[in-house]
């Protein structure tokens, strides 16, 4: 029996009309997608040519040439197509669709007779297909292209790319599986697993689910496939270019069977995609032990290894998780893609059980650690998202050498920008879900939706000025069903009115449930008071003891040197009640900035580095905090901190 208790409203049934997110969607439409198109076609001067489209042209026999780019270069084209699909879902554009159709025609031409499709192997290593699943991203690229195919099919009804990918998946299914003579393998970089679940839902073909189940369940069993594969290759590594002794299974979560993994380890994007696929699989197949395993990993990540911004992956070594409660703020990796993968994971967990703990984390990610990856111009991107940045350290110290003080432009390894584009353009698909009798509102994003609930299709709209204001107005369509509104963990209180009258809803797993017969014109107002708050971390989180993060609603704030001068660690705050909120449109329309009192350690009038303590030497000052996601959108980025001394 499936473990799906509620189904998200598909993207095409949700129209986002939101002060905050519509702007981000505009940036994705107007900046990221067109820029990425030029990038994958090598039309942007001053950046390393991507060669991504060219690789397909060469594989298709339309051009002569060598393969160029990363071994996973095809995924850049896939991610562009996927973002285009969502963009067409929310805002049709025949010209863009025609361009995408042309790319799909090219991809189809590049596909080989037997269904194979991966331009790196086709052009550069035609004899080595399926010999290095661990390192060479063949299945990863297949996953991304499959996601694009499903998204494009759902957006446009066109199934050409879907057919292409079904043929390739069929070939993979012939090559990989438990049967003798097949490879007992799985992706070195998970992604195909979650794509197979999507493909299964789009087509109804059980075989895809079975292949996914094989890959998830075989992973980490002995004998270790990646070790066997390495042996078969004569112990040669792809990335190190020479002899390789063994495979670090922890790096890609293949060190033990997934049900035995109790803590997140290794490369955080790989982890996020694997967990997403496994949770999806558990839900679709009713695999309760797998669902429990994913719950354990969810709890480990969110209760032990996640920054307050939602970022994960505390270290640059392996772009990886380190261990419980080890969340340094200045040497963090916190890759944008990893944060995005946790949004995907949250949605899969929510689908099994509507519990606000999943949606709270999703919200934490959406307003903080994901979009922090992009400048407000839509043209500069962070891969790493530190919670404390000292520009001099990023330049002069190895400990922060991977951190940038300013978002660079497009990278050669262009994973994060298109990942942001697909998350932002598909945001409508994360807001609402429904079961037979309940319509769930997980996110407070202004939008018009149609939901399958109470035996029919009902409209549901919401509006407000979230995340700057906690008053949300909802207009549920007529019908008898339960309206379940998430009460965020950050809200100390809340109130609900229906048609102007106070309503006392039941609380179920953090959702306020309004159970009644709805009539046209009904109007629900949810009020979530948003005072300025200080948040603190668990005492076991060594790095944040004695410090607080300023929050308002779901938004984590930070201090930047642009507002507060240098040496931000010399500041301490006292009482959140003394802060005032002020709308400041200069960075982002409607942005609320916070200003309040603080104490600053006085500069010493000697050159000494240490001295015996005397009486406290503090001076009163005023500080200004801006949303963390918006940091580094001004000239001065010498310093930034989230966790401020109290």
Secondary element (H or E) of residue 441 = strand 438-441
Site residues for a copy of itself, 485-504, by CB under 8 A, read: 490, 492
Tell me which stretch binds a copy of itself (CB under 8 A): 23-31, 114-122, 220-228, 393-401. Answer: 393-401
Cβ–Cβ < 8 Å for 562, 587: no
How many Å from the N-terminal Cα to the C-terminal Cα in the chain? Answer: 51
Secondary element (H or E) of residue 395 = helix 391-396
Kindly tell me which residue out of 102, 401, 408, 597 binds a copy of itself, with binding defined by CB under 8 A: 401
By CB under 8 A, residue 645 contacts a copy of itself: yes
Strand partners, 620: 599
By CB under 8 A, residue 393 contacts a copy of itself: yes
By CB under 8 A, residue 303 contacts a copy of itself: yes
Binding string, 322-351, against a copy of itself, x = CB under 8 A?
Answer: xx--x-x-xx--------------------
Tell me which stretch binds a copy of itself (CB under 8 A): 24-32, 135-143, 318-326, 455-463. Answer: 318-326
Secondary element (H or E) of residue 484 = strand 479-486
By CB under 8 A, residue 317 contacts a copy of itself: yes
- Supply the minimum distance, in Å, between the C-beta of residue 233 and a copy of itself: 24
Query: What is the CB neighbour count within 10 angstroms for residue 209?
Result: 19
Site residues for a copy of itself, 371-390, by CB under 8 A, read: 390
By CB under 8 A, residue 315 contacts a copy of itself: yes
Structure-block tokens of residue 21: 């997110």
User: Rounded to 5 degrees, what are φ and ψ at 592?
Assistant: -100, 120
Kindly tell me which residue out of 262, 292, 523, 542 binds a copy of itself, with binding defined by CB under 8 A: 542
User: Rounded to 5 degrees, what are φ and ψ at 34?
Assistant: -65, -40
Secondary element (H or E) of residue 623 = strand 618-627
Tell me which stretch binds a copy of itself (CB under 8 A): 114-122, 139-147, 397-405, 521-529. Answer: 397-405
Q: Nearest Cα to 32, choosing from 385, 380, 384, 411?
A: 380
Q: How far apart are CA 300 and CA 264, in angstroms?
A: 7
Structure-block tokens of residue 433: 């879900």
By CB under 8 A, residue 537 contacts a copy of itself: yes
Secondary element (H or E) of residue 243 = none
Enter the DSSP assignment of 444.
Answer: -
- Supply the minimum distance, in Å, between the C-beta of residue 646 and a copy of itself: 8
By CB under 8 A, residue 402 contacts a copy of itself: no
Three-state DSSP class for 594?
A: strand
Catalytic residue among 138, 319, 335, 391: 319
Enter the DSSP assignment of 60.
Answer: T
Kindly tell me which residue out of 13, 73, 302, 329 binds a copy of itself, with binding defined by CB under 8 A: 302
By CB under 8 A, residue 252 contacts a copy of itself: no
Structure-block tokens of residue 188: 């070195």
Enter the DSSP assignment of 248.
Answer: -
By CB under 8 A, residue 243 contacts a copy of itself: no
By CB under 8 A, residue 415 contacts a copy of itself: no
Kindly tell me which residue out of 28, 308, 424, 626 binds a copy of itself, with binding defined by CB under 8 A: 308
Q: Nearest Cα to 471, choosing from 524, 512, 527, 530?
A: 527
Q: Which is nearer to a copy of itself, 146 or 385 (CB)?
A: 385
Tell me which stretch binds a copy of itself (CB under 8 A): 95-103, 199-207, 267-275, 391-399. Answer: 391-399
Q: How far apart are CA 623 and CA 595, in angstroms?
A: 6
Structure-block tokens of residue 70: 């990363």
415 is catalytic: yes
Q: How far apart are CA 39 and CA 231, in angstroms?
A: 38
Q: How far apart are CA 13 and CA 89, in angstroms?
A: 9
Tell me which stretch binds a copy of itself (CB under 8 A): 67-75, 90-98, 449-457, 566-574. Answer: 566-574
Cβ–Cβ < 8 Å for 506, 515: yes
Q: How far apart are CA 347 and CA 275, in angstroms?
A: 11
- Supply the minimum distance, in Å, between the C-beta of residue 607 and a copy of itself: 5
Q: Nearest Cα to 400, choosing from 333, 463, 352, 346?
A: 333
By CB under 8 A, residue 392 contacts a copy of itself: yes
Tell me which stretch binds a copy of itself (CB under 8 A): 25-33, 202-210, 227-235, 610-618. Answer: 610-618
Catalytic residue among 415, 416, 558, 560: 415
By CB under 8 A, residue 597 contacts a copy of itself: no
508 is catalytic: no
- Supply the minimum distance, in Å, between the C-beta of residue 489 and a copy of itself: 9
Interacting residue ranges for a copy of itself, rule: CB under 8 A: 299, 302-304, 306, 308, 314-318, 322-323, 326, 328, 330-331, 390, 392-393, 396-399, 401, 490, 492, 533-543, 545-546, 548-549, 551, 567, 569-570, 572, 576, 600-604, 607-613, 645-646
Catalytic residues: 319, 415
């Amino acid at each position: 029996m499936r473990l799906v208790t509620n189904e998200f409203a598909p993207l095409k049934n949700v129209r986002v009309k939101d002060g905050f997110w519509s702007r981000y969607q505009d940036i994705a439409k107007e900046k990221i997608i067109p820029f990425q198109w030029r990038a994958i076609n090598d039309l942007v001067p001053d950046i390393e040519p991507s060669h991504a489209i060219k690789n397909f042209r060469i594989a298709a026999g339309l051009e002569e040439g060598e393969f160029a780019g990363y071994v996973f270069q095809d995924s850049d084209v896939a991610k562009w197509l996927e973002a285009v699909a969502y963009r067409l879902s929310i805002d049709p554009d025949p010209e863009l669709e025609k361009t995408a159709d042309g790319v799909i025609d090219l991809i189809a031409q590049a596909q080989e007779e037997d269904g194979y499709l991966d331009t790196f192997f086709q052009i550069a290593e035609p004899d080595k297909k399926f010999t290095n699943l661990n390192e060479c991203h063949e299945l990863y690229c297949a996953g991304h292209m499959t996601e694009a195919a499903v998204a494009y099919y759902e957006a446009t009804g066109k199934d050409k790319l879907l057919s292409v990918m079904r043929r390739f998946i069929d070939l993979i299914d012939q090559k990989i599986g438990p049967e003798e003579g097949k490879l007992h393998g799985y992706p070195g970089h998970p992604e195909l697993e979650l794509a197979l679940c999507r493909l299964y839902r789009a087509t109804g073909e059980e075989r895809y689910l079975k292949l996914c189940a094989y890959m998830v369940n075989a992973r980490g069993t002995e004998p270790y496939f990646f070790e066997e594969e390495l042996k078969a290759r004569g112990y040669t590594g792809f990335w190190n270019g020479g002899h390789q002794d063994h495979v670090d299974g922890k790096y890609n979560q293949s060190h033990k069977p997934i049900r035995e993994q109790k803590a997140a380890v290794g490369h955080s994007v790989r982890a996020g995609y694997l967990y997403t696929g496994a949770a999806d699989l558990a839900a679709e197949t009713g695999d309760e032990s797998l669902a429990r395993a994913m719950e354990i990993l969810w709890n480990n990540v969110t209760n032990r290894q996640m920054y307050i911004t939602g970022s994960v992956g505390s270290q640059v070594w392996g772009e990886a998780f380190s261990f419980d409660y080890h969340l340094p703020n200045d040497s963090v990796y916190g890759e944008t893609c990893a944060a995005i993968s946790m949004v995907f994971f949250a949605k899969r967990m929510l689908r099994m059980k509507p519990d606000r703990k999943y949606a709270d984390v999703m919200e934490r990610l959406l307003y903080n650690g994901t979009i922090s990856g992009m400048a407000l111009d839509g043209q500069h991107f962070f891969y790493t998202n530190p919670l404390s940045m000292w520009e001099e350290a990023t330049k002069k110290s190895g400990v922060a050498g991977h951190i940038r003080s300013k978002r660079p432009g497009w990278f050669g390894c262009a994973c994060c920008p298109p990942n942001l584009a697909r998350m932002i353009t598909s945001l409508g698909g994360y807001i609402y879900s429904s079961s037979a009798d309940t319509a769930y509102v997980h996110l407070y994003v202004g939008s018009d939706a149609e939901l399958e609930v109470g035996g029919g299709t009902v409209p549901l709209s919401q509006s407000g000025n979230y995340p700057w204001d906690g008053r949300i107005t909802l207009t549920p369509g007529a019908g008898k069903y339960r309206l379940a509104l998430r009460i965020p963990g950050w809200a100390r209180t809340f109130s609900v009115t229906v048609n102007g009258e106070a309503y006392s809803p039941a609380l179920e797993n953090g959702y306020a449930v309004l159970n009644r017969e709805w009539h046209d014109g009904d109007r629900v107002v949810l009020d979530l008071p948003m005072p300025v708050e200080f948040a603190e971390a668990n005492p076991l989180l060594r790095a944040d003891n004695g410090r607080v993060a300023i929050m308002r609603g779901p938004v984590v704030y930070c201090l930047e040197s642009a507002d507060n001068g240098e040496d931000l660690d010399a500041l301490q705050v006292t009482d959140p009640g003394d802060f005032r909120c002020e709308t400041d449109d200069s960075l982002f329309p409607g942005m609320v900035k916070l200003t309040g009192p603080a104490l600053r350690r006085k500069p010493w009038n000697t050159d000494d580095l240490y001295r015996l303590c005397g009486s406290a030497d503090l001076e009163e000052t005023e500080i200004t905090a801006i949303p963390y996601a918006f940091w580094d959108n001004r000239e001065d980025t010498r310093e930034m901190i989230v966790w401020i001394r109290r």
